[in-house]
Every structure is written in C-alpha cells, then in structure tokens.
Amino acid sequence: MRKVLILLFRIGLGVIALVVLLAGGLVAYLGFQKRNYSRITDTHDLPQRIDKRATEYIARRKNVGLVVGVIHRGQRFVKGYGRVSENDPKPPRRLNVVRNRLRHENFYRGDTGRDGVGR
C-alpha cells in the first residue's frame, strides 16, 4: 500500500511539473510574440492595403458583399465592397450590416415586426 501511495505521489509531482513547464513555455512564447509585434513598423498605407485585399476577394466571387471595419490608432476605417444583392449593385454599408444582424437576431428569437425588421 505504501509503495502505491509513493508511486501516485511521484506521478502527481510529475504532472504538476509538466503543467508548470507548459505554463512557463506559454508565457515565454507570448512574450516573444509581443516583442516581435512591437517591432513591426507602421507603413501608413492600411486603407490602401485593405482596398487591395478586399478587391481581390470580391473579384473571385460572383455575387458577394463585404464590409470591412478596422480601428487603427483611434481612427476608424469602414468601407463596403461588392454588392448588396443580385438586384442591388451598390456596395454594402455599415448600416446594411447592422440591419441584417438585427433582422437575423430577432428572427431567431421570434420577435419580428410586420415589416420584417425587429422591434
């Protein structure tokens, strides 16, 4: 019985040591990533880079709308790409996203008004 308790104690210590080692490795990894992130230089062309990526994304799809929103250094960048629907070729706006989100949330709760928009 005593040998079994000693064995369980050693296994428990091994598990604790492994958890501590993994936690230390995670802290070291996060510190390394934070250090690398702080070294990234600001190229001051974020809107142009977003435009390029979004345009490439839209070009590969037939009927798609995309709204990109980014907050960078306290400034907002929100722009719509593509089209709202097959019948509406205008690019989506931030308001379209909010309306659709409310419409879907209220639909799943069963709380739609007569016009299809939630109350």
Q: What is the pLDDT of residue 97?
A: 60
Torsion angle, alpha carbons of 56, 61, 62, 64, to 10: -90
Q: What is the DSSP string of 22-46?
A: HHHHHHHHHHHHHHHHHTPPP-S-H
Residue carrying structure tokens 């069963």: 110
> What pTM was computed for the model?
0.48
| DSSP label at residue 62 | S
Phi, psi of 5 (to 5 degrees): -65, -40
User: Burial, 115: exposed, middle or buried (Cβ in 10 Å; 0-12, 13-18, 19+)?
Assistant: exposed
Q: What is the pLDDT of residue 20?
A: 97
Q: What is the pLDDT of residue 77?
A: 83
The mean pLDDT values, 10 residues at a time, for the chain of 119 residues are 92 97 96 84 86 91 85 82 83 67 51 44
91 and 83 in contact (C-beta within 8 Å)? yes
